[in-house]
A = this chain, B = another copy of it.
Amino acid sequence: MSLRHAVLGLLAREPGSGYDLMKLFDDSLRTVWPATQSQLYGELSRLADAGLVRVGASGGRGRKEYSITDAGRTELRTWLLSGPSRGARSEMLLRLCFLGQVEPAEARAYLRHQAELAAKELAELEAVERLVPEHGRLAFELGLRHVRVRQEWAAWAEERLAESVASMAE
C-alpha cells in the first residue's frame, strides 16, 4: 500500500494534477517505485474519497489540481517513521538460490555479465552524482552503495566459482 504514500509525498512538496504526478514518477521515482497512469488516477480518486487530498482549482482541459490535506500529512508522517515492512522479494537472490542447476561455465558467464552490468550502472550513477538535489542525497547514496556491493560481490563470486571449477579439473 505504498503507491498511496508516494503520491502523498509528492503532493506534500507541491500541489499538482494527475498528469503532473505522472511526469514526476517518470522522471524521478521510476527506479524506486514505478507506477502507471491508470494506477495514479485511480489512487488520486481514492485518496480524495478518504480525505487525504483535496481537489483545488479545476483548470482548463479538465485539469484537477490536487493538494494534500492535514489528514494526508499525518498519514504521510506516520508511514515515514514506521518500521520497515516485511516481504521484500529479490529476483536476484532467487536466481542465485538455483544457480547451481546450470553448468558451472554458464554460471560463471552469468556472474561475469552481472558484474559488468553493475559496473556500468555504477559509472552512470557516478556521472550524475553532482546533479543530485540535496533532498535526494540520502536515497542516492544508499542506491550507490548497493550497486557498488553488487559489483564487488559479482566479481568475487565469479572468481570463487572459477577456483572451484579449476580444483575439480585436477
A136 at interface by CB-CB < 8 Å: yes
- Say which residue of B12, B32, B102, B138 sits within 8 Å of A90 (CB atoms): B32
Number of copies: 2
Contact (Cβ within 8 A) B94 A81: no
Bound-complex Cα distance A86 to B6 (A): 19
A134 to B33, CA, bound (A): 34
Check if A125 is an interface residue, CB within 8 A of chain B. Answer: no
Query: Which residue from B91, B96, B142 sits with its C-beta under 8 Å from A138?
Result: B96
B-facing residues in A110-169 (Cβ within 8 Å): 110, 113-114, 117, 135-136, 138-139, 141-143, 145-146, 148-150, 152-153, 156-157, 160
**Interface residues as binary, A73-102 with B (CB distance below 8 Å gives 1, 0 otherwise):** 000110111011111111111111111111
A9–B98 CB distance below 8 A? yes
Q: Which residues of the other chain, B, contact A6 by a CB distance below 8 angstroms?
A: 94, 97
Contacts of A143 in B (CB 8 A): 93
Given known A32-B90, A88-B91, A117-B84, contact A97–B145 (CB-CB < 8 A): no
Main SS at interface, chain A: helix
Residue of B nearest to A113 (CB): B83
Give the A interface residue count (CB, 8 A). Answer: 58
Q: Determine how close the nearest CB of chain B comes to the CB of A155; give it in whole angstroms.
A: 12
Least distance between A21 CB and chain B CB atoms (Å) = 14
Q: How far is the CA of A152 from the CA of B148 in the complex (A)?
A: 13
Whether A89 contacts B142 by the Cβ 8 Å rule is: no
9 residue pairs, one from A and one from B, having the closest CB atoms: A9-B98, A96-B139, A32-B93, A145-B149, A100-B135, A33-B94, A142-B153, A138-B157, A96-B138
